[in-house]
Amino acid sequence: MEDSYKHKGLRRQLIDAIRRKGIKDERVLEAMDKIPRHLFFDSSFLKFAYEDKPFPIGEGQTISQPYTVAFMTELLNVQKGEKVLEVGTGSGYQACIIEELGGRVYTVERHKALYQKAKKNAEKLSYRIKVFYGDGYKGLPTYGPFDKIIVTAGSEGTPQALIDQLKPGGRMVIPIGSSDLQHMITLDKSQEGEIIEKSWGGFRFVPLLPGKDED
């Protein structure tokens, strides 16, 4: 499947809409302008790829709304060469955006079918994100610590393993709350290991679930 002029045009309109909604980091907008979101969709749903809405990707999960992706990516503030952990690979779209910004991405997904699909999506576009099938609650201790951690499913609290795998000076972005409303939270770890928390308003995510689908 290709990235036609029509797709590029629709994508440009979507990026303009997201900018109008308040996203200021042009690096983030540029990365999203570059990545063909429609290639992360099943072919029969292509026409929904450039609406600013979440969309089902199978297994009861969704690819997040583009505005939400942009908002979280802006908060994550990825710098070139940083090691980044994503919990909740889903389609692989968010992970590819982080790589486009220069991050070295490790991403974990608990659904085997989505893990396999995300790997294919990234390979198709020549991204080198490292995709793992596992329980993101545990992080990836073998590959940590990470400069940045992004959790793309709603969590009731912050998993301690993820705090432990964040480098001093690092930042985690995680939606925290009940099953029907979460607050976007940034957790900054100081050089002394102190955690500074800030809230950035309400969002809705699919839940972070314990274990893998085949456990």
Q: Check: CB of residue 100 under 8 Å from CB of residue 78.
A: no
Note the residues at the interface with ligand SAH (CB under 6 A): 61-64, 87-88, 90-91, 93-94, 108-111, 114, 135-137, 152-153, 206, 208-210
Closer by beta carbon to ligand SAH, 162 or else 196: 162
44 is an active site residue: no
For residue 122, give both structure tokens.
């990234």
Closer by beta carbon to ligand SAH, 48 or else 168: 48
CB of 57 to ligand SAH, least distance (A): 6
Closer by beta carbon to ligand SAH, 89 or else 189: 89
CB of 84 to ligand SAH, least distance (A): 12
Closer by beta carbon to ligand SAH, 65 or else 82: 65
Residue with structure tokens 């690979």?
89
CB of 104 to ligand SAH, least distance (A): 17
Catalytic residue among 44, 64, 91, 155: 64
Residue type at position 15: I
Count of residues making up the chain: 215
HSE toward the beta carbon, residue 148, CA cutoff 13 A: 26
Closer by beta carbon to ligand SAH, 7 or else 73: 73
77: left (phi over 0), alpha (psi -120 to 50) or beta: left
CB of 39 to ligand SAH, least distance (A): 12
CB of 112 to ligand SAH, least distance (A): 10
HSE toward the beta carbon, residue 26, CA cutoff 13 A: 0
Q: Which residues, 6 or more positions from 137, have their beta carbon under 8 angstroms from its beta carbon?
A: 87, 159, 161, 162, 208, 210
d(C-alpha 188, C-alpha 166), whole Å: 9
Please identify every residue annotated as catalytic: 64
